[in-house]
Amino acid sequence: MLPLWRDEVRIALQPDRVALARVSRRWRPHVSAKHAVQCSPDATAPWKPCLEALREALEQPFARDADAHLVISNHFARYALVPWSEHLASDEEKRAWVRHHFAEIYGEPEAALEYRWSEEGPDAACVASAIDAGFIGGIRAAFEPASLRLRSVRPYLMAAFNRWQRRVEGDPVWFVLPETGRVCIASLANGRWRTIVSRNIGPDWRAELPLALERELLLADGGAAPATAWAYAPEAPKLDFPEWTGVPLKFLAPRAMPGFSPQADAQYAIALTGVA
């Protein structure tokens, strides 16, 4: 099989479920199988039920002989904008710099974290993420007995932004990612990141999202107030933004493909980020 035609198993890890979808890339991409395992969030160890569900999901017959790409919900990731320096030479120096800024924002972590970051110019902030190192280690261990090659593990914000970057238009602009119980709002101006906010939202998030956006708009300074807000909400594609804000709210929607309907299969949309 040619490498470009190798099947992929796309996976999303969320607090309430693990979703898998197998994508065949022969001739035309299509979803040949999909499966979801439900789990119950644990307040004391939020990612452990999800990890158990992942192990169960990987026992599916279709989860083999393919490349795996995994997206981790924003519930399990912390984000920060880190000012970059051209004087950072080694990976150790960069990691220490990123860790220092996370500690300033969130305090010293109670558990070891795995940090990832983009590298922008010396006069621009980079986007960095931090995920519990035990969670990442458990994910890698879950794949050891599986006949899948784990090719990528990405936090949802970066996976979704990479998918929609060319569609997100306007300056300045907001990129909004709501999930059940959490919303992530990033602002950009002149093509550069300005702010990232990721916070809890109530269970009735469809009703509460407009209020969360209003709050961020009121807190934004003049340069961060958006000309346009782009939202990717595959499980609730019809939301209203309060008219008084004067900010157009535009929606991004996953594209349909054989075996995947954005309406009927919305629970797999995060897993298929980058494909659909």
Residue spans of the domains in the chain: they are 3-73+134-159, 76-130, 166-252
Distances (CA, A) of 84 to 104, 148, 194, 234: 15, 36, 13, 33
pLDDT of residue 229: 85
Q: What is the CATH number of domain 166-252?
A: 3.30.420.40
CA distance 72 to 158: 10
Q: Is the pTM of this model over 0.85?
A: yes
Q: What is the CATH number of domain 3-73+134-159?
A: 3.30.420.40
153: exposed, middle or buried (Cβ count in 10 Å: 0-12, 13-18, 19+): buried
Same fold? 3-73+134-159, 166-252? yes
**pLDDT score for 244:** 53
| Of residues 112, 111, 75, 70, the one with CA closest to residue 95 | 112
pLDDT, position 238: 63
Query: What does the alpha-carbon distance between residue 106 and residue 200 come to, in Å, rounded to a whole number?
Result: 15
Residue 1 is predicted with a pLDDT of: 44
pLDDT, tens digit only, all 276 positions of the chain: 445 678 999 999 999 999 999 999 877 889 999 999 999 877 778 899 999 999 999 999 999 999 999 999 999 999 999 988 778 888 899 999 999 999 999 999 989 999 999 877 667 788 999 999 999 999 999 999 989 999 999 999 999 999 998 888 777 889 999 998 899 999 888 778 888 999 998 877 777 877 787 787 777 665 556 788 898 988 875 666 556 567 777 889 999 999 999 999 999 999 999 898
- What does DSSP assign to residue 172? S
